[in-house]
Chain A
Amino acid sequence: MEFWRIPLDADTIQVSRGIVHILEDRCKGCGYCIEYCPKQALEFSANFNQKGYHPPCVIKPEECVNCHYCEIICPEFAIFSVESLQTTELKQVRT
């Protein structure tokens, strides 16, 4: 995760990480998860699923903070995230 200034309490607060799972054949391509992902970690994939829709794919897996918003906004029960045990590396971006 990138910050322009590393927060002072970065060593005490743990940023959770998630792994996104997509059940591609349930997707109907509404794009709500892609639009409302707070980290813009998803994008329409170029492939088609069984029904001919473009399911989402994860373009920035390291950005997922396991907020579950894609999971709760999905009308199709087609995407969910589970907690990952990896820790987030905080990077400072020089501007």
Chain B
Amino acid sequence: MQKIPMTSNKQPDHPLDDLIRTDRIPHIWCPGCGIGTVFSSCLAALKGSGIDLQKTVMVSGIGCSGRAAGYVKLDSFHTTHGRAIPFATGLKLANPELNIVVFSGDGDLFAIGGNHFIHAARRNMDMTVICVNNLNYGMTGGQVAATTPHLAKSTTTPAGNPETPFNLPLMAYACGATYVARWTMLHIRDLTDSITEAICKKGFSFIEALSPCPVNYGRRNKQKPLDMLKLYQEKAIIKNDADPSTLDIDFEKGIILGKFIDLDRPTFIEEYDKIYRPSRLQENVPELNS
């Protein structure tokens, strides 16, 4: 019997398929949700940064964004609520060779896990924190969060939010982060470049990525997913090195995006080794010189 030659009609794989667990795709994120875009941007940055992916760990907490750790085909941790940064700190201290990327949401990192964020930034732990900010608690049904803009509607504030939201870049800067940037899920190329830079940078790096939540935040504020992207397009003001105290999210006056802080400071492990493990430092000196 004549063999039929193999045809190459098979559709090629997506360029990021080698980094995602394709058996779990499609993921749980709603249609129009921006977490998937930020996640793919993060994977593209991991791939483009040239770091050893065998020594890279993605850690995330609980929430919609917290599901990211389950979709990445690298070592990953899906940790308890708010405790992504403590797990990441432990990983880094136990094995300083690892590259740690914390991928989580605003509720996980800044509401229940706010304290851990502050202290990791203060200590300058060597990790990259990516916060997907969708302006509410998406997974639990759209309650008011620490980042919900003033007067925005949510399940628990049906007439408008009376509180003032966090200014996340200012907080990261004030606590001692060495790299702070903010982008939206529409400014993907800038976001990817920023994440690449942050992964390659030593010290605590923080990137805030604004993302629409059409099902909870958008529905209550009369915004369709595309309206939200149009809003990002219209209201975005790209201003690198802007003063962090001017970065509060107010869609009326415009949201400032860009890379705000990029400085160098000794990391926790360096400082610790200097005092408690001077022998290790001496051992490392010839390696550094060679």
Contact = CB atoms under 8 A, between A and B. Distances in A.
Chain A CB within 10 Å, residue with most, of B31, B35, B40, B186 = B31
A28 B27 CA distance: 10
Contact of A21 (B11, B39, B229): B11
Nearest to B39: A75
Interface stretch (A6-14, A29-37, A87-95): A29-37
Contacts of B186: 36, 73
Given A23-B11, A28-B31, A30-B31, A72 B192 contact: yes
Dominant SS among interface residues on chain B:
loop
A75 B229 CA distance: 13
A78 B11 CA distance: 12
A76 B30 CA distance: 10
Contact of A35 (B15, B29, B44, B226): B226
Interface in A54-88: 69, 71-78, 80, 82
Contact of B12 (A30, A51, A75, A82): A82
B33 A75 contact: yes
Interface residues of B, number: 31
Nearest to B43: A77
Interface in A23-54: 23, 25-26, 28-32, 35-36, 51, 53
A36 B26 CA distance: 22
Contacts of B16: 77
Contacts of B17: 77
A79 to B, nearest CB: 8
A62 B34 CA distance: 29
Nearest to B37: A75
17 contacts: A28-B30, A28-B31, A29-B31, A30-B225, A31-B225, A35-B226, A36-B186, A71-B14, A73-B185, A74-B36, A75-B34, A75-B36, A75-B37, A76-B25, A76-B36, A77-B25, A77-B36
B219 interface: no
A71 B15 contact: yes
A35 B186 CA distance: 12
Contacts of B139: none
Interface string B25-60: 111011111111101110010000000000000000
B40 A77 contact: yes
Interface in B171-195: 185-186, 188-189, 192
A72 B31 contact: no
B20 interface: yes
